[in-house]
A and B are shown apart, each in its own frame.
Chain A
Amino acid sequence: MASKEYAGKMLELDADGNLVNLNEWNEEVAKALAVEEGIESLNDRHWAVINYMRKEFTEKGDAPSIRKLTKESGVDTKELYALFPKGPAKKAARIAGLPKPKGCI
């Protein structure tokens, strides 16, 4: 399994390049992952999505669908795609330190 340095720590990554251990995640790691995804700085709206995704994952064991995310996080579909261009669910999950979402919607 691959590992890579983020925010000064060597972290283990799965086959998709997502963190293996949720506990190793922190805000600094998120910022480093975001840069890798082409997002130079994370604003309040990015954090609203990231924090909501982490909360859902902790409670349900999978990242939320885009539909659920836009209904419950307060960030609508248009904004979500603007915040995380080129694949919102997958990117936001990676930055949030979660595995790739399993759902189709």
Chain B
Amino acid sequence: MAEPIKKVSIVVSRGSLEGVYPGLIMANGARMEGIDAQLFFTFFGLHAVVEKKMDKLKVATVGNPAMCVPDAMGPGLPTWMGAIPGMSWFATWMMKKEMEKIDIPPVREFLEMIHDAGCEIYGCKATVDMFHLTQKDFCPQVDGVITVGEFYEKSTGAQIIFT
């Protein structure tokens, strides 16, 4: 029988709401299964752990051909309509409402839960430098800011998942 997965190392590189959640759900799901997990936030994905940004992540309504109205299985939303002010706000509100129904917590609460479950959380050094951030810009769950080299070191024996 194939060896079960023992550890996952999940990279979150996107900063939209739908870009952040898959990584969080996979990290939490790993811990629920007793699999070791760590999260590495890079580029705009870093917004998910920045105090000022984490509660305001939005669904992207432009450049997303799968975006539909009024719900996920409705007709496609034309790109130009996605650019109308308030559209992203509306899509975000809808998605958050549906997520709450199936008990998916808001980003901040989810990160607390994942961290309490024993998942380590890291920010990417290159992005932190590029965005001019310091440790105090992050939510308390961030265990540190590490280089890509350190990320690979910490991923020893892990499956790396890029989202």
Q: A76-B116, A103-B103 are in contact. Are A81 and B25 (CB under 8 A)?
A: no
For B, the interface residue count at a CB cutoff of 8 angstroms equals: 16
User: Which of A3-11, A16-24, A39-47, A82-90 lies at the interface?
Assistant: A82-90
* Chain A interface size, under 10 / 10 to 19 / 20 to 34 / 35 or more: 10 to 19
Task: Give Cα A44–Cα B36 distance, bound, in whole angstroms.
Answer: 27
Task: Give Cα A44–Cα B116 distance, bound, in whole angstroms.
Answer: 21
B81 contacts partner chain A, Cβ-Cβ < 8 Å: no
User: Which of A27-35, A51-59, A61-69 lies at the interface?
Assistant: A61-69
A26 contacts partner chain B, Cβ-Cβ < 8 Å: no
A78 touches B116 (CB 8 A): yes
B105 contacts partner chain A, Cβ-Cβ < 8 Å: yes
The main secondary structure of chain A at its interface with chain B is: helix
B32 touches A77 (CB 8 A): no
Q: A65-B103, A78-B116 are in contact. Are A86 and B34 (CB under 8 A)?
A: yes
Task: Give Cα A89–Cα B103 distance, bound, in whole angstroms.
Answer: 15
A residues whose Cβ falls under 8 Å from a Cβ of B: 65-68, 70, 76-78, 81, 85-90, 103-105
B residues whose Cβ falls under 8 Å from a Cβ of A: 25, 28-29, 31-34, 102-105, 112-113, 116-118
